[in-house]
Structure 1
Amino acid sequence: MAVKDRDRFSTTTRLRLLGEQTAARVYRSQTRRQARRSRLTGRAALLALVVCSLVVALAYPMRQYVSQRAEIADLQRQKQQAKERVEQLRDLKARWQDDAYAEQQIRQRLHYVMPGETGYVVIDPGAAKRSRLDLVAARRPWYWNVWDGVDKSDASAQ
């Protein structure tokens, strides 16, 4: 027994036991860390899955929202253009209410002359190059050209 007791209290035996205990402690702590890491990895995977699900779930509504906002902006632009066109037409209507403007437009567009005035038709020098029918149409009064257009459209309908 004395040898065993001496062996038990020897420095070598104590160092070996101390090394084994330390190795066991290190192994246990590594096992705990690995267990902790695997739990964090599972949590991270679950979190990533939830985030991806949210992104997928919100992608289509966000796309719809963006496209609807673009459509709203386009409609507002069209509305503004329509308002501007209405204002232009109101101005034009107001101008046509003025007798002087109406008379000016009638004289210019329809070649009307007032009683006592002499009307002149100036033929474009380039008109000689056009066909004879165009020359005849250019020399005739405007209402004859309108009536010919009505006759032609009536003939094509039959």
Structure 2
Amino acid sequence: MSVAAAYRWVEHAADAPFGSALNPLRHLGSLGFLMLWLLAASGIVLYMLLDTSAQTAYQSIATLSAEAGSAGSALRGLHRYAADGFVLLLVLHLAREWMLGRTSGFRRFSWLTGVPLLPLAFICAIGGFWLHWDQLGQYSATATAEWFDALPFLSTPL
């Protein structure tokens, strides 16, 4: 059984509980687009509320989410999970379209313009970790610097 046939079997099996019109596996691109809009809207509001300078970004985020259950914490949570959902749905949608052979013909332009946006989405996701600068942010900054140090065309380590 090929990968595409296995995926189609899983997709058809998911039709039973959801129905074909509401099956989330058939709407990965639309769900990803919804996550992108949630991400953009929450990001704009966060940008208006936060100070993003290098000196005060951490304190600004700490102040915004100081109270447990506050609107600031909820907004940050929405933004974070929308970002995670966007990246996950982007990868799943990309894999689905590739497995089903939807990379040629009239879809070629969409494929050739959409695939290069994948690294940009990952860069933006890593940048979000860095802004918070907690243990995960520091780890991702260190790991990213180590990856760049492994590239032969960079002469000095970061």
Q: Same fold (TM over 0.5)?
A: no
Q: Taking structure 1 as the reference length, what is the TM-score of the superposition?
A: 0.22
Q: Taking structure 2 as the reference length, what is the TM-score of the superposition?
A: 0.22
With CA pairs under 8 Å and 6+ residues apart, which has the higher RCO, 1 or 2?
Answer: 2
